[in-house]
Amino acid sequence: MALDVLFCLVVAVADGDTLTARCGEPGAYEQVKVRISGIDAPEKAQAFGQRSKQALSDLCFRETATIRPTTRDKYGRTVADVECQGQDVSMAQVKTGMAWVFDRYSEGYEHLYPLQDRAKGARVGLWSDASPVPPWDWRQQKRSTSRHVGSSP
């Protein structure tokens, strides 16, 4: 789905790996919900979730983002490589310990692993936690727990 490169104003940040951008010409703007490629950030209710969101906001909110769409996810979001303030967002979030490399979708993003290893070694961001839980495991635990709520023994 290698679409054209988009230059958009970031108007909202949902969490550490999802933002909303306003793209297009004045009078014909389109809101695009973007999931950043190659990474998975802590969920908002998870440890470091708010800090991860804030880090993405500091980098991108009210900035012009360069968005290179690659595909769409199951929620209809545009999955894209994103740059804000001249920085690759995936690299910035991983390097500062604000996101994991998303193992399941890491093909083409292998260059993020050394950044993650350095962040882990330096215990920065989420790596300062004694036993950080990857968001995909955290979501799975939440789904399992919610299925058992209210069921009889």
Check residue 126 and report its DSSP letter: G
Candidates 25, 43, 68, 147; catalytic one: 43
User: Which pLDDT score, from 0 to 100, does residue 143 have?
Assistant: 86
77 carries an active-site annotation: yes
Candidates 51, 68, 77, 143; catalytic one: 77
User: Which pLDDT score, from 0 to 100, does residue 13 have?
Assistant: 98
110 carries an active-site annotation: no
Candidates 22, 25, 30, 35; catalytic one: 35
User: Which pLDDT score, from 0 to 100, does residue 144 have?
Assistant: 85
- pTM of the model as a whole: 0.90
**Residue 34 region, left (φ>0) first, then alpha (ψ -120 to 50), else beta?**
beta
35 carries an active-site annotation: yes
CA distance 39 to 18: 10
* Per-position pLDDT tens, the chain of length 153: 445 899 999 999 999 999 999 998 888 899 999 999 999 999 999 999 999 999 999 999 999 999 999 999 999 999 999 999 999 999 999 999 999 999 999 999 999 999 999 999 999 999 999 999 999 999 998 888 876 555 444
Which residues, in sequence order, are bridge partners of residue 91? none
| Domains located in the chain, CATH noted | 6-146 (2.40.50.90)
